[in-house]
Structure 1
Amino acid sequence: MKARILVIEDEPAINNLLCMNLEVTGYQTVSYLDGNDASEGIAWDHEFQCALVDIMLPGKDGYTLLPELNHYGIPVIFLTARADITSKVKGLKEGAEDYIVKPFEMLEVMVRLEKVLERHGNLQEQIQINNITIDTISHTVTRNGEEIYLKPMEYNCLMMFVRNPNKALTREQLLAGLWGVEFEGETRTVDAHVGRIRKKLGWQNRIKTIPRIGYRLEVEF
């Protein structure tokens, strides 16, 4: 069963961006642009595994919605332009699982979301992209039901693309994501990983080379 994610964000462009990226990686989404509408909605539909919530909303704000969401056992990640430490401490002390300041990278949102889902035993188990199925629990990848062996670093590289669909990633970003630090080695290391992923998954035309930048995984919404 797909994990359901609640998105409460009053900026339509950000709301749509979050929902599209979540849905392409296998989540179901329900979204609201207004705090009052969200409050009414969760009163009758509250089977969500996590909520991404802006603080500054028309109607009820994120802080007001937080106890309502917690009442139904819905973990909350605040996504907000409020970068001051007082707001952050308030959000976390009152029960938010995490606090992300805008502007944010979708990769960071996806990784933090997965951590919250994992803590609550709700991690999205499978991601489907056409005939490729990624099992995030066993770290296995299959094509039409047949397992494709990926080395650990190849799997991690694949997941960086999956968490950032239709976004150009530089070789430096990929290296930093794979090793967790600023990597000083050759960027050709990334080219080798990407080449093997393309060949094994048959994604020669899906992972595009972006000249002088890096690579982009193209996924249809």
Structure 2
Amino acid sequence: MAAILIVEDEPSINELVKRNLQLVGHRCTSVFDGLTAISEMHAQTYDLIILDIMLPELDGFEVFKQAHEIPTIFLTARSSLSDRIMGFSMGADDYLTKPFEMLELLARVEAVLRRTQKNRSCFEAEAVRIDFDSRQVFYEGQLVECTPKEYELLEVLVNNRNIALSRERLLELVWGYDYEGDTRTIDVHIQKLRKKLGWDNVIKTVYKLGYRLEISI
């Protein structure tokens, strides 16, 4: 997975982002001010920077100028149109404002890493291989026929592996906010995926909540 530098001066937010990125397999380094961020970028190689704008010592825009084309997501409370325009005009890969949903940040990280070819286009675990580019799934080398919603649900679980997701959140992520069905739809699709992929012990049921794709990192 990717090496990610988190530049955020609020310790609780920094730690929250770091823990969730590590859960899905990324290697993370945390710093809390602009000058330290620049020193860290010069000392180590990173695949992605998650960068606040309002930082001690040196603001995020100045840090970004010295990022040497490292893919960057601005994560900031500065939500004005002018700030967003400035971030994108400087070449930022994405711009997310606080408060934010952690699952949205994880999705944006995944998207940037794929776009910049820093993340594998395939995922492999427990005799299963998923090719994200072709949207094909293989079990023990054989192509598995998945419906579009089965595949989308599987991809959400993989991208948020080791994180417990409620049935309601899975419905929102896969079927959309305006879906009128109930959460039993998730249970049916999970059972089908478990059977097709031999993942009875990989897709875990989280009591009274939902499901978690449990993968050793």
User: TM-score range with shorter-chain normalisation?
Assistant: 0.7 to 0.9
Partner of 1:73: 69
Partner of 2:80: 84
Contact persistence 2:164–2:210 (CA under 8 A): yes
Partner of 2:43: 44
Whether 1:106 and 2:102 are equivalent positions in the alignment is yes
Partner of 2:144: 149
Q: Find the residue that maps to 1:157 and give its secondary structure.
A: helix
Contact persistence 1:49–1:122 (CA under 8 A): yes
**Quick one: which amino acid aligns to residue 78 of structure 2?**
R
| Alignment match of 2:57 (pick from 56, 59, 62) | 59
The two structures, once aligned, show a CA RMSD in angstroms of 2.9
Deviations 1:48-82 (A, max 9, x none): 3321111122222211111111xx11121111122
Contact persistence 1:8–1:52 (CA under 8 A): yes
Partner of 1:199: 195
Deviations 1:78-127 (A, max 9, x none): 11122333332332233222111122222211222232233333333344
Deviations 1:118-174 (A, max 9, x none): 33333333445576554434445566x645725142232122223334544333322
Task: Flag the 1:214–1:3 CA change in 2: closer, same or farther, 3 A.
Answer: closer
Q: 1:22: Cα distance to partner? A: 2.7
CA distance in 1, matches of 2:12, 2:129: 29
Deviations 1:161-199 (A, max 9, x none): 233345443333222221345211243221111112233
Partner of 2:4: 5
Task: Flag the 1:138–1:16 CA change in 2: closer, same or farther, 3 A.
Answer: farther
Structure 1 residue ranges without an equivalent (≥5): none
Contact persistence 1:148–1:200 (CA under 8 A): no
Partner of 2:119: 123
TM-score relative to the length of structure 2: 0.80
Structure 2 residue ranges without an equivalent (≥5): none
CA distance in 1, matches of 2:104, 2:199: 25
**Quick one: which amino acid aligns to residue 95 of structure 1?**
G
Paired residues in the alignment total 216
CA distance in 2, matches of 1:150, 1:49: 34
Q: 1:26: Cα distance to partner? A: 3.7
